Amino acid sequence: MITIKEAKSQSELKAFVKFPFKLYKNSPYWVPPIIKQELETFNKDKNPIFKDADARFFLAYKAGEIVGRVAAITNWLEVNKQDIKKMRFGWFDFIDDLDVSKALLETVATIGKSYQLEYLEGPVGFSNLDKVGIMTEGFDHLSTMITWYNHPYYVNHYNAHGFTIEKAYSESKFPFENVKPEHFKKAQELIKRRYKLRALKFTKTEEVMPYADRMFDLFNESYASLSSFVEITDIQKEYFKKKFISFVNPEYIKFVVDDQDELVGFAVVMPRFASALQKANGKLFPFGFTHILKAKKHSKDVIFYLIGIHPDYQNKGVHAVIFNEYYETFREKGIETCYRTPELEDNHAIKQIWKHFNPKVYVRRKTFRKDL
């Protein structure tokens, strides 16, 4: 018999966060989150997303043991402002037992129906800066800190419960040696002169902060046309600045501005912390910090986390300016491999940006939906 219990207390939420540590204990590819950070994500007093969203967290029990979990999420900006009547679910993990996954999904569906929403979609997070999708290919590749890893049997559960594919994503990578400066060196000089642009270089985090709000504004503008987009609010900007900016090497943040000092393009790259997080095993103390700081300084792999170009400057080659800046930085640091975060398969514009680097898809993932 499967019992579903809502996780409300701190100890229950900690059990929610720690369940995957047991489920993926023997996986060499799963990357554990930092437990403290996950708990803060679910803390309604600390995460400002809860001013525009609701979330409830559920655990599935069988014979007294936790065998599954799910977060039931309603983003009211999406529901009310965009008129997308979607019940989100994420952080969805379970043993290979159809009764377990069914009971968890039915719990989410009941909430969605109570709000008169039209369909379920998941796994997704609260917003576009959260993890998205289950893996459908690439199970033998090391995951990242910004994606969910899952067992291959997950797909079978969605199919068995009558879900259909909603969105398709791919993750790709390319060796830095594929980056040939002749593809952008001359072009970026012409583009800077033509549009009176300049690139900003940072060596300290405090130098980034005056531009951070503008970066999130530009993120909202440049991603607004994507089917999965939900805007980042002003209060969320403050939260993400503290959560992400201080975590990123300042030299890995590139901004392009015009002659009025207005931001027209940006990119954020992160060191690949996967191996360091495996060593930390969910804890910053006593040695987790050491592993993460070492990776921040010395990792030879990087992840392109975000890139955005103002709509007025799209298709004008601004990305060439950004790539030129990264080329110089990566060459100095001896970067070996560049990874990209999940990108929508139908985002053809982003694929054009990367085509010269001959990227290879190594992971595919999907979100699934079901009408209520």
3-state SS assignment for residue 2: strand
The residue written with tokens 């910090």 in the block is 289
3-state SS assignment for residue 363: strand
**CB neighbours (10 Å) of residue 211?**
19
β pairing state of 337-340 and 119-122: unpaired
pLDDT in tens, 310-324: 999 988 999 999 999
Q: How many CA atoms lie within 13 A of 146 on its CB side?
A: 23
What pTM does this model have? Answer: 0.92
Residues of the chain with pLDDT > 90, as a percent, come to 72
Select from 87, 53, 91 the least CA-distant residue to 71: 91
Per-residue confidence (pLDDT) for residue 227, from 0 to 100: 61
Sequence-distant (6+) residues with CB within 8 A of 259 are 196, 197
pLDDT at 348 over 90: no
Hey, what domains does the chain have and what are their CATH numbers?
A: 2-171 (3.40.630.30), 175-361 (3.40.630.30)
Residue 228 — pLDDT band, cuts 50, 70, 90?
A: low
pLDDT in tens, 151-170: 999 999 999 999 999 999 99
Sequence-distant (6+) residues with CB within 8 A of 317 are 187, 188, 191
Residue 352 — pLDDT band, cuts 50, 70, 90?
A: confident
Give how far Cα 73 sits from Cα of 87, 125, 317, Å.
6, 8, 38
- Give helix 185-195 / helix 318-333 axis angle, nearest 10°: 130
pLDDT at 293 over 90: no
pLDDT at 226 over 80: no
Sequence-distant (6+) residues with CB within 8 A of 197 are 191, 256, 257, 258, 259, 264, 318, 321
Least confident window among 9-23, 37-51, 140-154, 217-231: 217-231
pLDDT at 234 over 90: no
Residues of the chain with pLDDT > 70, as a percent, come to 98
